Chain A
């Protein structure tokens, strides 16, 4: 719809952007917890994007002379049984864990939103089928279901993503369905019908954006769960394989050495895991405030 960009339109775009940035700043400063979460999330994202460039050692490089050294100035988080630098491995692992979580959440967000919108808007048979599908997924212990899916589909990273996406799907479907049902007869939806909007457009343009604020909270919470889920699957030996650095595997491998006193092997990846989950759980509220225009005053 955007045509030749002339001066007033450009100015308008800039003004809108400035308003949005001002709003983000307000959300961050009004709630210190959100600010803390945003800083942590920024650090985690930096580690994920630039990880291999900023770490002091090659995370895969073994060094027989430096096996199982405790944390020191040269090796901040110590070294593992093959002499690899734990700090470098923890930082580099952020990329893989985050990529799995993001991909899984993006998939369940998209598919769940579409299924939830259709189910809540049309009701009837569609709703019954989608509803029973959710019930079926929810009937399993979710982690066991994920294990089953990965075991059945094959032990690859893609399948971890699919498994994580499937077990999170019902949460999105149910939430979007509920948000859609309360709005499908709302005045503004009727008005949109009168303006000649077809059903798909009403769903996408009128109803879906109104379901975004609660969905953002769900996305953020889910990112945390998805990271835990991916790490959990790796911990029991599914998905990511050694020697690739990944928090779950690192905890699993390090666990063998805790009894002999080398606590740092499992401790630091575990800490990273905990911080990541903590961060995304806290971030949810802030994200909701950012996407809700009612907070923009």
Chain B
């Protein structure tokens, strides 16, 4: 029992930490993307402070979670990462590509720890780990910005790595010293950043009812976001009403006071521009906006030049900031805010004015909110719900029968009509319910794409002599959770192939007139009930000759066969077990897993994979998947008196056939369809179905054409009953695995039908056919 309890704790820890690590990964990717759009030179990259904050919160949550679950290594790691991220968001350490790499590396450490915990329990990741200690050392060096982080190759780099010391000046703004003293270190940093970028400062003073303050404050923040940056929220002073609380928002914005008032909307908050001193040495752009209303705050002694020197000449005046940690450097009393060597006053969480505490509360509220709005649901519970919906649909058809009975009774016709209306309404609601449950199962593909981006980032760093540009689109395309889970391995394999076998070394590319950086693109798109995912590279293309040579060498095809092969048939060789066009697998190429496994995995999700390649220009892998496995469209057929459902995604077409058209080649039945020979398989033969004695052999029937790789096959059946949306159910432990049967489904009216596993049926029939052909 105790074991079970800790298992549960472990599972919860794993799923929760996984979620947070994924969020962290997304944040880092967004940061990386944002940093790419700017000049990567200069003194570090500039990105949306919200992103760094979000990453900081993620690591902070991981630390808390790890502490709660007793996973020491993760706690240790998070603690030090938190310091680094704190330094980054405070601008103490510039965001360099090296720092970003370090953060990405952290994700891998998180995953190693999770894997360890998943395998050996919560306590597995306790005790010291050389790997993590080494990493933590590097993180700390980066956080301290001692220059080790950036390889000291040049003096300039050295200089960049030095943390610019925050300026204790606020341009020409007349800021209230009391207000400034209430700011956290981070808020101060953002305040200076806003001033530096030439924005105006506004104070927005509002009074909020205590009961609804969170909602109203969130609304206000949401309204303000488009017009500027909320630098800080500090408690106001003149609270007269015990039911209300006054808050002051410090906003940095390049908009006018009127525009901001407009953005706030109906709220009763007042917008007051922070007045500026008239200073001659300000750039005109800033002078234009100087204060309209003077409120008589005690002017600070800040002057302009210090601000403008901030970016170009980092101060090295020996001001030492407190080391990393939850210490806030506040202006002590604000008496000498312009003094460059001011002594930072350490402030704990309950620091002066509650500024720090406020900030913490804000973070906590945000985290809590996101947690309370999502519910983790076991997908099996959704299956149960889906079952109930199916039951309801059956009950509905039961009522329909009663209705039909009722309608025959002339006296009750009125009642029957009313019942019919109700039944229609019920049907609609049932459809909505089903769609609703399905939508819960849907998750965006970005869950997989984000993981891939990270791995590609690492692989392209490791791939010698290659530069890779990874382009992702369509990450918001949604697919069944079960499918998305299963996709990461096959996609990873395809991308590895593209980087390893597809993209040429830079020299080769340049000599071929291609850009030095190879592009690997992954795109997703919904088409009807399917999602198409394409993995494309602009590399070498597939060397069909080498492929064919290897297939011959391995005895998988004969030379005669090879001569007659079309290019597409040659590509199909890729899916034969054990065929790789490269003799030696190197670091990045997958070992032991071939394209055959990729195809099998995709087929298991009722999907298909095709290859298209242009020699010398690149390769494209096209994966087609159903949106969900929970409900599929099926063709319902009869054979020898039995009903079967054939998943529609494996059916190419179906046609009526007079049996006199059947020909035989070496006793195998075939027909000619559009000038091509189509081998036939009788479903009743392959399943050994006895035809009831009173059922004569039919003289005509239907051919359901299904595809397996480059082969097509016609299933001969007696009758087509129509298309239907079906829910596939397992036959249970005892009967599962019957070759050719994928499951069962209820068709209504207590009728149950088996669902064909077309791939297995075709594979079983194919050897005979390929022999014959």
* Interaction A to B: no
Chain B residues engaging chain A, CB cutoff 8 angstroms: none
